Amino acid sequence: MAEYTAKPGKLRLKGEKKKKKKSHKRKHESDEEVAGDDVDGEVLHDTWRRVRDLVDVKGSVSLVSRTGAYISAQDDGSFVEGVPGESEKRPPNEAEEFLGFVVGEEKVALKSGYGKYLCTSSSGDVVGRSDAIGTREMWEPIFQEGMIALEGSNRRFMIVADNGKLMASAEKVADDAKFTLRTSKAKFKKAKTEAEVEYGKKLSSLELEYVNKFQNFQDHHVIVSDRSREELRSARHSGKLHESLLDRREKTKSDRYCK
């Protein structure tokens, strides 16, 4: 097998797009961009937030050891631990940035700035020499208390060895197998559905809102049922709130959609 060598030149993340001018188009109505809470190191350097869930392992990410050091890609395909505490002082440089990918439902893959995927070698070393994602390039993440452990295809967890290089050799998730994964990608959360919004409203306000929406306004008066709203509470829990609201409006004979 030929010895791995990296092409000389400026380190650049594959798949990295050129910066585009800001667009003033509205975002999709179902998504909302939210800033992370800068609490207990949750967000560093304005944009690098802690990854706590599989869905966020995408885009530019950095891997930080328990000493607060960045994991850096080397031109020989290896990965080494940097200066302790450096991650708290500055954002990652190009050699310390990776591209994260979610693979299937439970696995992730990481690509170095040299365009190579992290994988486990036969000796247990973590190396970046693969051009595509196969079994050896998949890692199973375990999230706990804001930390991540990565289990390789050899069923061993990633650690920083005594020589400062990454290895997949730990049988259990001890302290040396715990890392912090950060992403520069803004966190998105789904906007609440109409049903979820309605569930958070007071029943009195919700009934009045529907009366205003559907009523014929006989004699120009708003007519709201005087029956107890306890039946609405029961209907809400059983998933029949709308049917109950319609029934109450029908009883007042004020809904143009009622018989």
CA distance 54 to 109: 11
| Per-residue model confidence as pLDDT tens digits over 101-125 | 999 889 999 999 999 999 999 999 9
Q: Work out whether the CA dihedral 7, 9, 13, 18 comes out positive or negative.
A: negative
What average pLDDT does range 5-33 have in this prediction?
49
Supply the pLDDT for residue 42. Answer: 79
Supply the pLDDT for residue 211. Answer: 65
Percent with pLDDT over 90 in the chain: 47
Lowest-confidence segment of 60-64, 86-90, 141-145, 229-233 by average pLDDT: 229-233
What average pLDDT does range 173-197 have in this prediction?
74
- 237: pLDDT strictly greater than 80: no
Supply the pLDDT for residue 107. Answer: 95
- 36: pLDDT strictly greater than 50: no
94: left (phi over 0), alpha (psi -120 to 50) or beta: alpha
What average pLDDT does range 57-76 have in this prediction?
94
**Can you spell out the DSSP letters for 188-255?**
EEEPPPHHHHHHTS-HHHHHHHHHHHHB--GGG------S-THHHHHHHHHT-HHHHHHHHHHHTT-B
Q: How many helices (H) and strands (E) does the chain have?
A: 4, 16
Supply the pLDDT for residue 31. Answer: 44
| Per-residue model confidence as pLDDT tens digits over 127-137 | 999 999 999 99
Q: Which comes out higher in pLDDT, residue 127 or 9? A: 127
| Per-residue model confidence as pLDDT tens digits over 155-167 | 999 999 999 999 9
Supply the pLDDT for residue 26. Answer: 43
